[in-house]
Structure 1
């Protein structure tokens, strides 16, 4: 469908965010939101101690330190809500370990959760179920917006998917505020006006932008929602017409069914994937394949003579340039390298956060193995099937071991259950600079959050002095 002057996608989406009754929100949607809330806070807790890129943000947040403000996750102090959204946004994606929507290729909660924490700090009371519904609306909206694109705008020089998350933050914060549909529409326009991203960040190995990008989205969303709440007007029709998102970034074309179809029954937040491994989701098919192959009794790492992978065109960039991807110098660069991630998995028999520390990055055996990996691009795969991948390992005696994955573990067909998510949370929380005082109680709080009469209990649980 070509965007025309009579399109009303913005109004429909804004009305849905503002007006859909929380009481009518399906239980599966609420449950999915609290799983993502637990996972998002968990990886942020771990990032507080492990990600050097967040240290400047923590320093900025300390300048606004105020008792009773919004907690900086894992850091033991509160700060002004807008500053908190910024630093918590940086924490959310710093380890690239949070959930993702495989088809939409977005991290729908990375900016939404920080925005929700900051927004509810500005209101007197909000029930736990309503906060979860607000998060679900933000995640659902950004997934739909991404799925609405019919082309890959990165070929035009835009790094599109990071741009979109400001909309999730704006929608979430607006719902928390109890905004009208008109206010949601203006909040989206203010968030959109603060958001841009060049694909150049993907091509520069030492760029920190990919790590801390959600700081800017969370900030834009909270600011946008707050301005709209106070009556300011940005512009209408964020998704419509020649100057809307699809007119500017999508060549004027939109998949209307993906964007606004089945609004009351299709919730994309229920289709998110949770990461069992702390790297770019585009690398996970190859981790998955490697672990499957290594279970074969014929496999021996010492006998590998050749490794060939099959990768989608969309994730070809995670293999090139070969020299950089084989020998990444930072954890962030390593997480966006299929050759390194695959080699590290084969060498260690697992992929955990420790495979990205400075000692692991310097391991010459891992580097040499990564350098030997041959890449084949499967042109039959489009952007929506980009997670598909395969690995073929040939041993010295000629034995060929192969594995292919359509959807990596953690996705809707092979999900992580609640017990696995809770175990992941516990492991991440223990790494925080300032973990929750009682991790078990925190898990119970979040996993039963729809029963909380006041969601501010979450802020209390995140504070070091609670």
Structure 2
């Protein structure tokens, strides 16, 4: 079994991928980079960029939209935690977590320091490898562990896999890289961060740093095999179809910058409001029927962005007023809006047996809205918007989301150029062409001036 996995990591080529998988890899890349750029507005990102620059100084990589030089470990830590900060990145219901948030920063960190320029097709192939290893590890870990752990616990192995590919590790060293990543991966208590939200989030930046460290340690001869989640006979069924069944195809994309568990309730509420032309002032109470884990998101008065993202009442109320949820609606003065807070206080969370039975593969909710005149409105069962099991996001919707996220963070022309490059990445011969577009304008000018002088 491990031989099959190692072969997949090192031998998979672009031409081996089904057309739908190739296309999904581009969708994931575009969406994740958009999330990273949009999240630069958050306090969490500012803290982690400063931390990485101070504690992980280096010459191999630069921080996106910042320009400071850091080590590869500093880059993946800062970029992974930044993407986590906005909580609008791609999602995989079957593992209750996220892969791209760690995989894509790790792939790009390796690509940035390569002397030989890889093609966009090679980078996209590496992204697919990372998703497949990470999600399968997540399935194995969820099956074996008694607690619900953060995504960093399993996406660390996906990061170790793609780093092992770029480092050209032999089969035994690759085994050790996976084993080191599993052993050191952050098996954090996810429900602790649900119940008391902080900047810890889903541990994915730490998972990326752990996975990348694991590959470099194995490259130096450090041992750590076996990875039980990969090599245990009890997990054979999870790994037997690797390269046949493609789990990257099971990703869905978030419309709102909050926990995925809250999004079915937001969709149900907005559905009723649109159908019945309800204004916020007409609402007496909103009752949300959903699965147990979503009812734990019960903070009506969040004091910061992290608490707002791990709330259900507040984003439901905010969506009623704004019809979208990004950084502006989940930070600063928006958290003190008295009208939104009044409506949030009217939201009641009810655990529903049918929703529990469907979870985690199907994350659903339905809503009852009681109006001031006593009239009751009832929604249908709803998935999260763009859920893969319902109506997935179209290409046009993902591109629109990308430009919404990067707007205000990049000049318009640069945003268009970056979006076009990422969307056509499979036709790009030099994958490193993305990095100048991720630098701030002043760094671009400095680099151009230095090039003119021959420095």
TM, length-normalised to structure 2: 0.88
The answer to which of 327-336 and 399-408 deviates more is 399-408
Asked if 1 retains the 8 angstrom alpha-carbon contact of 2:57 and 2:74, the reply is no
Q: What secondary structure, in the 3-state scheme, does the structure 1 residue paired with 2:366 have? A: strand
Correspondence 1:33-44 to 2 at 5 A: 33-44=25-36
Q: CA deviation at 1:267?
A: 0.8
Asked if 2 retains the 8 angstrom alpha-carbon contact of 1:131 and 1:176, the reply is no
State which of 265, 270, 275 in structure 2 corresponds to 1:286: 265
Q: Distance in 2 between matches of 1:92 and 1:181?
A: 32
Asked if 1 retains the 8 angstrom alpha-carbon contact of 2:85 and 2:199, the reply is no
State which of 281, 287, 300 in structure 1 corresponds to 2:279: 300
Q: Distance in 2 between matches of 1:105 and 1:200?
A: 12
Partner of 2:450: none
CA deviations 1:68-99 (Å, max 9, x no partner) are x3221222333222211111111121110111
CA deviations 1:17-48 (Å, max 9, x no partner) are 22233321122212211211111111111222
Partner of 2:451: none
Q: CA deviation at 1:200?
A: 6.3
Q: What secondary structure, in the 3-state scheme, does the structure 1 residue paired with 2:360 have? A: helix
Change (3 A) 1:318 1:302: same
Q: What secondary structure, in the 3-state scheme, does the structure 1 residue paired with 2:296 have? A: helix
Q: Distance in 2 between matches of 1:137 and 1:184?
A: 14
Partner of 1:143: 135
Q: What secondary structure, in the 3-state scheme, does the structure 1 residue paired with 2:104 have? A: helix
Partner of 2:313: 339
State which of 12, 35, 38 in structure 2 corresponds to 1:20: 12
Higher percent of residues as helix:
2
Change (3 A) 1:192 1:416: same
Q: What secondary structure, in the 3-state scheme, does the structure 2 residue paired with 1:438 have? A: helix
**Please, which runs of 5 or more residues in structure 2 have no aligned partner?**
445-455
Q: Distance in 2 between matches of 1:100 and 1:158?
A: 16
Q: CA deviation at 1:204?
A: 5.4
Q: Distance in 1 between matches of 2:405 and 2:277?
A: 35
The answer to which of 399-408 and 36-45 deviates more is 399-408
Residue 402, structure 1, aligned to residue 378, structure 2: yes
Q: CA deviation at 1:388?
A: 1.0
Q: Distance in 2 between matches of 1:439 and 1:145?
A: 35
Change (3 A) 1:204 1:43: same
CA RMSD of aligned residues (A): 2.5
Partner of 2:65: 74
State which of 57, 81, 100 in structure 1 corresponds to 2:48: 57
The answer to which of 231-240 and 31-40 deviates more is 231-240
Residue 133, structure 1, aligned to residue 93, structure 2: no
Q: Distance in 2 between matches of 1:430 and 1:275?
A: 18
Q: CA deviation at 1:269?
A: 0.8
Partner of 1:377: 351
State which of 246, 267, 279 in structure 2 corresponds to 1:267: 246
Q: Distance in 2 between matches of 1:390 and 1:200?
A: 23
Aligned residues: 436
Q: CA deviation at 1:129?
A: 0.6
TM, length-normalised to structure 1: 0.86
State which of 410, 430, 454 in structure 1 corresponds to 2:407: 430
Change (3 A) 1:436 1:165: farther
Q: CA deviation at 1:317?
A: 1.8
CA deviations 1:369-399 (Å, max 9, x no partner) are 2222222212232432451111111223332
Q: What secondary structure, in the 3-state scheme, does the structure 2 residue paired with 1:110 have? A: helix
Larger RCO (CA within 8 A; separation ≥ 6): 1
